[in-house]
Amino acid sequence: MSRALRRQPLVQKPPAKAPAFKPSARPAKKPTGAAAEAQKQHTSRYDRFVPRYVRDIFSELKKVTWPTREDTTRLTVAVLVVSITIGLALGVVDLGFNWLIDNTLLR
C-alpha cells in the first residue's frame, strides 16, 4: 500500500435509515350499508364516462391553492417588465455589434 493511500481515512457508509412509511397494523374500514351502496353507484356511474386519471386530475386541482387576482396581476406585470428590459438590452447589444461589424470588418 502506498503512503498516500495510508494517509487517507477510510470512508464508511452511514447506517441505513428506517423506512419513513410505516404501514398500519389494522386494515382500513370499508363503508357498509347505504354508504357502501351510494359509493358503489357513484363510482360505477362515472366509471363508464370519465376515466380514472381524469377524476384524479380534478381531485388534485381542487387541492391547489390558486393565486389571488392581485398576485396574478402583480406577477404578470413583473414578467412583462423583465421581458421588455431584457429585450431592449439585447436589442442595444445587437445594434452595437451591427455598428461594430459595419465600421470595422466591412470597410
Helices (H) and strands (E) in the chain, counts: 4, 0
Q: Are residues 78 and 101 in the same domain?
A: yes
In a domain, 79, yes or no: yes
Distance CA 56, CA 44 (A): 15
Q: Are residues 80 and 46 in the same domain?
A: no
pTM (predicted TM-score): 0.46
C-alpha cell at 56: 384524479
Tell me the Cα Rg of the chain.
Answer: 32
Its domain, for residue 90, covers 66-107
Q: Are residues 73 and 105 in the same domain?
A: yes
In a domain, 76, yes or no: yes
Q: Are residues 52 and 42 in the same domain?
A: yes
In a domain, 56, yes or no: yes
Is residue 39 within 8 A of residue 31, CB to CB? The reply is: yes
Q: Are residues 45 and 72 in the same domain?
A: no
Nearest-CA neighbor of 88 among 80, 77, 78?
80
In a domain, 85, yes or no: yes
H-assigned helices in 8-105: 34-47, 52-63, 69-100
Q: Are residues 95 and 71 in the same domain?
A: yes
Nearest-CA neighbor of 46 among 55, 38, 37?
55
The total of structural domains in the chain comes to 2
pLDDT tens track, the chain, 107 positions? 566 666 666 667 666 776 666 666 666 666 676 666 666 655 556 666 778 888 889 899 999 999 999 999 999 999 999 999 999 999 999 999 999 999 998 87
